[in-house]
Copies of this chain bind each other. A is one copy, B any other.
Amino acid sequence: MSIPQTRRPAPTLEAVAAEAGVSRSTVSRVVNNSSQVSPEVLATVSAAIEKLNYIPNRAARSLANRQTMAIALVVPEETTRFFGDPYFAAIVHGITMGLQESDYVLNLQLAGATSPSPKTMRYLLGGNVDGALVVSHHSGDHFLSSLDETIPVVFGGRPLRPAEEHSYYIDVDNAAAAAKGVDHLIALGRTRIATIAGPADMPAGIDRTEGWRRSLVAAGLATDLIAYGDFSMVSGARSMRELLDRAPDLDAVFVASDLMATGAVSVLRERGLSIPGDVAVMGFDDSPAAIGGDIQLTTVHQPSIEMGQKMAETLLALLRGETPERVCIMETRIVQRESA
């Protein structure tokens, strides 16, 4: 753009064929590394490709074989939240790693927390991508069903019914993981254990709350201390204030995400309460947020990067026509640090 230069047209298959003295079909076979090419021809064609620095035209290829070689990353979430939570960073990191070796490109589709724009819908449903990866879906995301019926889709986290019966997804056992976290708090001798829960319209929110409740019930403890956040730091702070006002005697809090936990921690300090002395805090995710603040968070680790990678791999398998496992549940574990 800046430095003027004569734009020589990019070499085509035709040019390579001429250079190598073979037909276009043959060059095409080489490019798509078909097995039925003789070694000698393969060599000369490869040389010609190299020499001309040939790069296949994506549009022409798509038109001919009806594949777009593009994958949509659909995020039914506000940009602010998407980028504000390190958890997403890890997922996307994993996704890009998983796509690294493939020829697919990733199209970012920020759908907004409500329903996506007509433009996004047309894009997704209009045959512009071969598959989709969806992350952070809410129960109101009905459009996802139509998506799921049109192209291969892999979800990050169990989709809500009725989609869950047939959808592909990667997840952890959120309820069990949360229960494990609360068990740890109980083992510490805590008896007044609150929770800052995630949204009640998201599986991760619902299931972690369920795990918290299950663990408390099993231990014969009260399950009245619950406040709902939206996974953001600010909502974590707000919820903590609310809980403290309601129950000044609480001695532990299980928080459904590390980011909310950092918000909770700041309120605890503000009130002059010691951690974990007065109140033990258990986070969830083991994202960078757990170790960024002034107190290292004890938390439930979930392998976010690996989950993203697995999402990509599963979709890639689906696109190859293979039949990968429909659901993949990954391991979680408690990472003990300072807060509990």
In the bound complex, do residue B2 and residue A148 qualify as a contact, i.e. CB atoms below 8 Å apart? yes
Question: Do residues A59 and B63 form an inter-chain contact, with CB atoms below 8 A?
Answer: yes
A3 contacts chain B at the CB level, 8 A cutoff: yes
Taking a contact as CB atoms closer than 8 A, the residue among B70, B88, B126, B263 that contacts A292 in the complex is B263
Complex CA distance for A117 and B101, rounded to whole angstroms? 10
Please tell me if A266 contacts chain B, counting CB pairs below 8 Å.
Answer: yes
**Residue A16 at the chain B interface, CB threshold 8 Å:** no
Q: Which of B100, B126, B163, B293 contacts A119 (CB 8 A)?
A: B100
Q: Name the B residues within 8 Å of A90 (CB-CB).
A: 80, 83
Cα A21 to Cα B87 in complex, Å, equals: 54
Q: Which residue of B lies closest to A68 (CB)?
A: B59
Whether the pair A1, B149 counts as a contact (CB closer than 8 A) is yes
Q: Pick the interface stretch among A103-111, A195-203, A208-216.
A: A103-111
Contact with B along A43-86 (1 / 0, CB 8 A): 00000000000010111101100001010010000011011101
Residues in B whose Cβ lies below 8 Å from that of A193: none
> Please, which residue of chain B has its CB at the minimum distance from the CB of A86?
B84
Residue A113 CB within 8 A of the other chain: no
A→B interface (CB under 8 Å): 1-3, 5, 10, 55, 57-60, 62-63, 68, 70, 73, 79-80, 82-84, 86, 88-90, 92-93, 96, 100, 103, 105-108, 110, 117, 119, 122-123, 126-128, 148-153, 163, 166-167, 233-234, 237, 262-263, 266-267, 269-270, 288, 291-294, 318
